[in-house]
C-alpha cells in the first residue's frame, strides 16, 4: 500500500509540475538527482548523508554537519532535500559537498540513488521516515539515525492500522529524540535504542546569535533622536491577523519604535501593512538611509535574511503565525534574552510550550490581552526583566544536543 501511494504521489507531482512552478522545480530536481550524483560523487570518498524535508529541518541538521566538517574532515557531506523551499534556498550551502533533491520514496528511486552513492551513515532530521531508502540502508548494514525527532500518540505508528508502516522505525540504528514522551512512545512499540538529547535547533540559534550581522540602518533607527529615546518592539514573521493586533496598539502608543519583518514580502501585503499604520513615519529597509530613518517610528524589513539579526535590536519580540497555520521560530528571538509574545496556535510547538512554562514566553489571545501584556511590560520593570532573563536562560539550558549526538555515533 505504501509503495502504491508513493507512485501515486510521484504521478501527481509530474502532472502538477505542468501547472505549478514549485512542483516543476521539484519534479525536475528529482529527475536530475541521479545524474547530479553520478557527476559529483567521489568514488574514493566516505559520505555521510543528511536528509531534510525543508528549510526548518535543514537548520536542525546544520549544527551536526558543521561539527562533523570541523572535527572529522575525512568525511564528505551529502545533503538532500524533499521540498523546493529548502533546496532552492540552500543549494549553494558551503557546508555540504553535494546538495540535491531526494526523489520520492519508490523502490526504484531508492535503489538507483543508493547504488549511485553509498554513504557510510545517514542522518534523517525530525519527521523523515522514508520506508524504502531506510530498508535498503538497513539491508546493507549502514547506520541510520533519526535526529531531533519527536513523537505524539496520535501519529500513525501508534495506531493499530499503522503498525505495518511503523516497521520503518525499526530500520533506524538509534533515535535521538527531543523529549521523554517520545522515548516512551517508541518503547511502547518495541523500539529501545533511543536517547533523549533535546533539539539541535537550540544549538543552531546560539550559532546564529554568534554570527549575527551588524546592521547600521537598524542601529540608527533604534538610536533615534537623543531627546526622545524609545524602546523597540520587533515583530518577526508576521501575518495579517498578527499585524491587525499589534499595529492597532502602536497607533495609540507613541512611546515605542516598531520594526516589522513580515512573513510574506510582497507589494500587496506591504500596502496592507501601510494601510494599518496611522500618523507615523514609516520607512522601508530597502529605501532607508541613516538620515531618513533616525526620526522614523516604524521600520519595515522588506527583504529576506535579516530577521535573526534584527531581533538583537529589540526590547520585546513578537513572533507571528500563532493566529494561523502555526507559530514561527520563537528561539531566534528568545536567544537574545527578551520577552517573546505569540498567538494561541502554539500547542504543537515544543519550543513555544517550553518558553511559556519558563516564563520567557507570553501567549496573546486577542487585542485586549496584547494591550494588557504590553502595559505590564512597560510599567513593571521587574516583570519585564524576569521575562527576558527566563527567555535567554531557556535557550541556554537546552543547548548541547549536537555534542550528545556526535558522542554517541561511531565516526
Residue 5's closest CA among 156, 171, 148, 186? 156
pLDDT for 341-383, tens place per residue? Answer: 999 999 988 899 999 999 999 999 999 999 999 999 999 999 9
Does residue 410 surpass a pLDDT of 90? no
Residue 227 has pLDDT above 80, yes or no: no
Q: What is the mean pLDDT of residues 310-337?
A: 95
Instruction: Return d(Cα 229, Cα 226) in angstroms, integer.
Output: 6
pLDDT above 80: residue 275: yes
Q: How confident is the model at residue 225 (pLDDT cuts 50, 70, 90)?
A: low
Give me the residue label for grid cell 533519526.
146
pLDDT for residue 158 is more than 80: yes
pLDDT digits (tens, 9 = 90+) for 207-224: 999 999 999 999 999 987
What percent of the chain stands above pLDDT 90? 78
Mean pLDDT of 258-282: 94
How much is the pTM?
Answer: 0.83
Least confidently predicted of 40-44, 160-164, 186-190, 266-270: 160-164
Give residue 194's pLDDT band: very low, low, confident or very high (50, 70, 90). very high
User: Tell me, what's the pLDDT at 226?
Assistant: 65
The residue among 14 and 172 whose pLDDT is bigger is 172
List, in sequence order, every beta strand (DSSP E) within 150-305: 174-177, 194-196, 231-238, 256-262, 282-284, 298-300
Give the residue with greater pLDDT, 26 vs 357: 357
Least confident of 6-15, 35-44, 125-134, 169-178: 6-15
Q: What share of the chain is helix, strand, coil (3-state, %, to 5)?
A: 50, 15, 35
Enumerate the β-bridge partners of residue 125: 147
Confidence label for 44 from pLDDT (cuts 50, 70 and 90): very high
CA dist list (Å): 322 to 244, 266, 373: 13, 20, 16
Distance CA 183, CA 169 (A): 13
Q: Summarize pLDDT for 63-112 with one digit per residue, the tens.
A: 999 999 999 999 999 999 998 888 988 999 999 999 999 998 899 999 99
Cβ-based neighbours of 403, under 8 Å, separated by 6 or more: 67
**pLDDT, averaged across the chain:** 93
Question: Quick check: 13 pLDDT over 90?
Answer: no
- Give residue 31's pLDDT: 84
Question: 260 or 22: which carries more pLDDT confidence?
Answer: 260
% of the chain residues with pLDDT over 70: 99
Query: If 0-12 CB within 10 Å is exposed, 13-18 middle and 19+ buried, where does residue 255 land?
Result: exposed
Amino acid at each position: 500500500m505504501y509503495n502504491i501511494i508513493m507512485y501515486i504521489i510521484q504521478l501527481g507531482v509530474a502532472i502538477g509540475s505542468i501547472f505549478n512552478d514549485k512542483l516543476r522545480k521539484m519534479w525536475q530536481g528529482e529527475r536530475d538527482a541521479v545524474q547530479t550524483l553520478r557527476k559529483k560523487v567521489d568514488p574514493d570518498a566516505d559520505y555521510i548523508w543528511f536528509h531534510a524535508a525543508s528549510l526548518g529541518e535543514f537548520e536542525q541538521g546544520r549544527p551536526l554537519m558543521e561539527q562533523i566538517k570541523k572535527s572529522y574532515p575525512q568525511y564528505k557531506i551529502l545533503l538532500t532535500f524533499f521540498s523546493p523551499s529548502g533546496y532552492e534556498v540552500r543549494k549553494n550551502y558551503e557546508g555540504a559537498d553535494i546538495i540535491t533533491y531526494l526523489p520520492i520514496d519508490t523502490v526504484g528511486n531508492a535503489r538507483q540513488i543508493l547504488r549511485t552513492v553509498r554513504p557510510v551513515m545517514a542522518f534523517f532530521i525530525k519527521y523523515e521516515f522514508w520506508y524504502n531508502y531506510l530498508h535498503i540502508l538497513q539491508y546493507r548494514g549502514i547506520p541510520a539515525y533519526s535526529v531531533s525527532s519527536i513523537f505524539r500518540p496520535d501519529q500513525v505508528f501508534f495506531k493499530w492500522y499503522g503498525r505495518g508502516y511503523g516497521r520503518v522505525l525499526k530500520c533506524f540504528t538509534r533515535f535521538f529524540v527531543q523529549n521523554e514522551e517520545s522515548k516512551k512512545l517508541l518503547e511502547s512499540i518495541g523500539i529501545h535504542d533511543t536517547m533523549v538529547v533535546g533539539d539541535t535547533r537550540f544549538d543552531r540559534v546560539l550559532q546564529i546569535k554568534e554570527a549575527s550581522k551588524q546592521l547600521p540602518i537598524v542601529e540608527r533607527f533604534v538610536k533615534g533622536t537623543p531627546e526622545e529615546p524609545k524602546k523597540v518592539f520587533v515583530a518577526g514573521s508576521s501575518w495579517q491577523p498578527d499585524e491587525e493586533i499589534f499595529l492597532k496598539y502602536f497607533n495609540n502608543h507613541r512611546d515605542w519604535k516598531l520594526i516589522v519583518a513580515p512573513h510574506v514580502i510582497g507589494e500587496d501585503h506591504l500596502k496592507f501593512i501601510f494601510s494599518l499604520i496611522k500618523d507615523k513615519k514609516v520607512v522601508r529597509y530597502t529605501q532607508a538611509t541613516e538620515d531618513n530613518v533616525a526620526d522614523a517610528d516604524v521600520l519595515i524589513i522588506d527583504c529576506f535574511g535579516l530577521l535573526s539579526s534584527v531581533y538583537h535590536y529589540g526590547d520585546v519580540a513578537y513572533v507571528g503565525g500563532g493566529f494561523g497555520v502555526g507559530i514561527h521560530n520563537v528561539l531566534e528571538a528568545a536567544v537574545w534574552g527578551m520577552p517573546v509574545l505569540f498567538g494561541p496556535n502554539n500547542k504543537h510547538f515544543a519550543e513555544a510550550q517550553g518558553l511559556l512554562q519558563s516564563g520567557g514566553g507570553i501567549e496573546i489571545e486577542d487585542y485586549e490581552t496584547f494591550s494588557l501584556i504590553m502595559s505590564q511590560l512597560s510599567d513593571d520593570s521587574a516583570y519585564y526583566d524576569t521575562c527576558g532573563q527566563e527567555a535567554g536562560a531557556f535557550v541556554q539550558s537546552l543547548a548541547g544536543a549536537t555534542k550528545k549526538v556526535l558522542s554517541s555515533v561511531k565516526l
